[in-house]
Amino acid sequence: MDDFPIDKIQISGACLASLLHRASSAFGDSHGYLFGHAAVSTSNPLSDHPTSTAPTSLLITTIISFLSLPSHLPLPPPPPSSSTCLLGWFSARRKTSLRPSLNDSTASLSLSSSPLLAITPQNSSLSLSPSLFLLFTTPFHDQLIHTHEYKAFQFRGGSFDPKSLSIVNIGPSFRSQYDSFSPNLQLPMMNSDLRGPHAMVEDEIDESLAGKRDQLRNQKQLDLCAEGFEIGRVSKLMSSEAAYTAEMEDLYDKMLAKIDTLSKLVEHSNAKVLDQENRNMRLRSRVAGLE
């Protein structure tokens, strides 16, 4: 399956943003490996036509992580991983055209021709070589905003085949991408011990009441900050029957309104501070006898 065409290339928005950040923050050109998953999906097209349509099999690859190095350092052998597979590699260059070079072709040929790096996609018994290639470049002319252009390819038959890159975002259509999510960093255990056994009962009652008042006050402040972003409403956005676009636009409008209110408060406070500074300056001038 080395020459089997990839029908769809997916990448999470966070992974693509991290790649762009790494390319823009590096001191020079960089390159690295791409890791993720590959699976064969069978779709049954729905049609009103009386003739039956045969189901189609699609090869879908999903990029979820990467390993980056400066381009003047050669790529080491890819590290083994039990959770992800090597899908290919990427190159980030500055002020170059958005097309693969002869060096890219040589590196892709060396990577895809290694039988030890071949993977077996899910729901399939065939073999797939790490043939993906992502190219990141910057414009030739200097611009005020630092931008990057990117394009995906599959190295097949000694040449690069351009492919579309789908960015996976949060929403009902992409819920399957987050079914197996688990945090990498666990929160520390919180101490839940109450007062010691030798504490006075009156002190315990007073501190309990004070703690409840503080908890209510903190909860009110949190509710004020999270107004319009309650857990119930956010969970509705993840349901398949929710009006996703309308809900997001409503939350976005409320967020803009809060930002506008905060900007006005900052503007008024800055005006008061400037007025107080002018008064202090006049007082100092009067004391110094400059008026």
Highest mean pLDDT (candidates 98-112, 129-143, 172-186): 98-112
- Give per-residue pLDDT as tens, 222-272: 666 656 556 566 666 655 555 556 667 777 777 788 888 888 888 888 889
The residue type of 46 is L
Give the model's pLDDT for residue 56.
74
Give the model's pLDDT for residue 118.
87
Q: Is the pLDDT of residue 82 over 50?
A: yes
User: Per DSSP, what are the bridge partners of residue 153?
Assistant: 133, 162
- Give per-residue pLDDT as tens, 22-51: 888 888 899 999 999 898 887 655 555 555
pTM of the model: 0.56
CB 84 within 8 A of CB 67: no
Give the model's pLDDT for residue 185.
46
CB 59 within 8 A of CB 4: yes
Rounded-to-10 torsion of CA 19, 22, 25, 29: -100
